[in-house]
A and B are shown apart, each in its own frame.
Chain A
Amino acid sequence: MSAERVVVSGMALHTPLSNELMGNLAAVMAGRSAITPWRSVHTSRIYSKIGGDLGDVDLGPALAELSHRLPPGISARLQRLARRLPHMPTLGLLSVAQAALDAGLEEDEAAEAHVLVAGGNLSDRLTDEGFARFAATRGDIEASHELYSLDSTLAACVSELLGSRGPAYVINGACASGNLALLAGLRELRRHDAKRVIVLAPPTDMSPRGLHGFALLGALAIHNYQDEPNRASRPWDRDREGFVPAHGCGVIVLEPASLATARGARAWAELCGVGVTSDANHLTLPNEEGQARAITLALKRGGVAVEELDLVSAHATSTPAGDLVELAALRAALGPHAERVKINAPKSMLGHTMNASAIVEGVLAVLQMNADTVHGSLNIDNLDPAVDLDVCAKGPARLAVGALLNNAFGFGGHNTASVFRRIP
């Protein structure tokens, strides 16, 4: 096994704030919120009324614009797949194409990629609509219902887009899926002869039923700030209530540093290591010890000293318990250095992009590292008195980030952290 350095050689990011990398960075630096009343989700029968919505975005202009810039084979396949696939998978493929462009991949280079799709239960809205139609008509269902209900089909579609015969599969750890996919990506490169890996974290197409399930669990912000959606997601604020669900899509291209250099690619960052632990609890309780172990493991595997960290892109979902448990875990794992890092909460602006969050936020953190700047945590009007670390309550700051930690924790005791380092 080679433990060669692995770099991020391409990225894409699609949120309600922007469908471009720099547009997203500018928006979070300006403290803009992606949260609005749901437009694409029927909310009349559910408590979830607000979210980050990509369900009604017109993808036509971006597809048309890309068609001229992509290698011809990829361009033709993207147009063909876009005609066939539902909206959210199309948005995912569009983002893969953007990332392939960002990485400067030629057709044959893209075809060498192993494909990882981060997440699970990605198409619940589509699936539920099929259930409802079938129940109402007892027999009227598209033949493609099952095919496009399967998350694995999206992995196959990415392979088709890239013309890749390499392994393609889904990797799932609920809201920690993105970091698990980065771990799998390192293994594809180091143990499975991959020359490059495309990690797609597609938007989670939540159904009204699914959203209602989160509300019934008491996990969502559904009471306060519903008339001011941009203020509802407020990690570490005294009045935080729960998370605000959101669509978001991120893509990361991973390559061994030597191959990226050889083809003259730009390296955004080094992906040093990923730590994964669990809590032996299938429910939703955050666990300080398990989170701290994941952070420590990520640093150890990545060969990164605690003191090298300058930024933590926190999981911080704006839940009363979770936000504080994470800070305690950071203290436990980083020791006194926890007081010297900037800790920011991308979900304060983007909401919780669910399965995609670790990739969406990982991309955003790498963009900050490259711009020598860190965004603030929005909506901290009254800092929770229990918070005793620098959670960027006062807004953005200039900062040379040498290494950063990207946390993601999921239901069922999934604890993950990834560590990225600056390219010298």
Chain B
Amino acid sequence: MRIAITGVAMITPLGDDADAVLDEMIAGRVGVGRFANLSPTPHGAAVGGDLSAYDVPGRVAALRASLPRDVGERLSRLVRRSPWSVGLTLLVTADAALRAGLFERRVAPEDLAVIGAGNNLGARYGEEGNARFTKEPDYIDALQAVHMLDSNHAASASELLGSKGALLTVGAACASGNLGLRAAVDELHDGAAAAVVVAPVYDYAATSLEALGAMGATTESRDAAAASRPFDEARDGFVPSHGAAAVVLEPLDAALARGARPQAELRAVEASSDACHRPPKPDPEEQARLFLRALARGGHGVEELDLVSAHAASTPAGDLAEGQALARALGDAAGRALVNAPKGALGHTGSAASLIQLGLIVAQLRRGLTHGTRNLQAPDPRIPLRFADAGPQTLTLALNNAFGLAGLNCVSVVRRWDPEDQSSG
């Protein structure tokens, strides 16, 4: 079964439309600033990609102009009653469904699956709740028992869409988005007509930022624009960022029959683990095997690969391992395939990163245009790859990498949609 990506939506500090975000990145803009909703901590990253001031009511109003009336009403009601991060989940879900044309094409509610991607998403909600609980237990959020759950994101998305099919949430830290795609493909194979995958914003708490800093995982830089520098010699840790994304997947043939416009084709999703949770020790050999397995699963050879959207979070060990794994897997093709890393401009959006990357890949494939890697000025000499510049390219096949904390890996393979190619191969 071939799988069509029929809708992609995102909210990032550089915008809430994949084409616009790509344009911003190509224009050299950076989404990293400071978290307006968190006070600085002793060791926590001083910089971050912030969405806490995102205009939620404005976005609700804009989407309602296009949504069916009942969906628009549910969107408004659910966003107002939900924690901030769930609000963003609802917004990207509505946007992705709109872009996929799900509301026009009347997918039966029982045949629509909703899959959440991410775990332990509501850290700041929990931190604030705990502060309130410490003062006066009876005055915590009366719906905390619902709002604290990671599963509430997908459940809220399901209420918004009116879906009654499979509902589940997968988590693999920063590889969650790709794992969500993998689960969605399984749902389609088992009979779902469409699957919406939503990767919520990771709502960083001050405590999480401090712990990540103390662990040495995040950057010590105070220069927001220059802090995230994937594959660069001067990289020193990742930049935490807000971001959310949602994707609609459908069986290609059925989607075409229903009048959908595929944005790209999802060829394969493969997962693995490093069998070592600490210290996080990325394993280039395991990663290289994973890349090749994913390509083979999609029916592709490594020589077909045009673009790699790297996970590269700007950590010394992680970028090196990924770079070496790519060089190993690509072999002779390393001189051909282009590599870029969106985290240079966007920072690390956690569980949503691989779906945001997917949206940017779809835009790049569709427009024949690549973004460069922000702040990649002096590439680490141990990483022999061909890095993409911003500009036009002929692109057909792309690899979307994601590696989660504690050695959880998942990559997806995406092909440009060619309307001429409607064979079911």
Contacts and interface: CB of A to CB of B under 8 A. Distances in A.
A131 B167 contact: no
A276 B273 contact: no
Interface residues of A, number: 79
B150 A172 contact: yes
A170 B143 CA distance: 24
B390 interface: no
B215 A146 contact: yes
Given A132-B134, A213-B144, A152 B273 contact: no
A151 B119 contact: yes
A191 B276 CA distance: 25
Contact of B404 (A131, A152, A217, A413): A152
Interface string B408-422: 101000000000000
A141 B149 contact: no
Given A174-B151, A217-B142, A412-B146, A280 B275 contact: no
B126 A282 contact: no
Contacts of A153: 173, 277, 405-406
B183 interface: yes
Contacts, number: 280
B53 interface: no
Contacts of A210: 144-145, 148
B278 to A, nearest CB: 7
A173 B153 CA distance: 11
Interface in A198-244: 208-210, 212-214, 216-217, 219
Interface in B310-329: none
Contacts of B276: 156, 160
Interface in B135-160: 137-138, 140-146, 148-152, 154-156, 158-159
Contact of A411 (B110, B149, B183, B215): B149
A208 B277 CA distance: 28
A368 to B, nearest CB: 27
B277 A157 contact: yes
B278 A165 contact: no
Interface in B157-180: 158-159, 161-173, 175-176, 179
A370 interface: no
A192 B293 CA distance: 11
B10 to A, nearest CB: 22
A419 to B, nearest CB: 15
A166 B146 CA distance: 32
Contacts of B141: 213
Interface string A139-182: 10111111101111101110110111111111111100000100
A173 B149 CA distance: 9
Nearest to A151: B119
Nearest to A114: B271
Contacts of B215: 143-144, 146-147
B168 A276 contact: yes
A213 B159 contact: no
A141 B273 contact: no
Given A121-B148, A156-B407, A414 B120 contact: no
Interface of A: 1, 45-46, 84, 115, 120-121, 124, 127-128, 130-132, 134-135, 138-139, 141-147, 149-153, 155-157, 159-160, 162-174, 180, 183-184, 187, 191-192, 208-210, 212-214, 216-217, 219, 276-284, 290, 293, 301, 410-414
Which 7 A-B residue pairs are closest in the complex by CB-CB distance? A412-B155, A156-B406, A278-B167, A167-B271, A213-B144, A170-B171, A145-B211
Interface of B: 41-43, 78, 109-110, 114, 116, 119-120, 123, 126-127, 129-131, 133-134, 137-138, 140-146, 148-152, 154-156, 158-159, 161-173, 175-176, 179, 183, 186, 189-190, 205-208, 210-212, 214-216, 271-278, 286, 404-408, 410
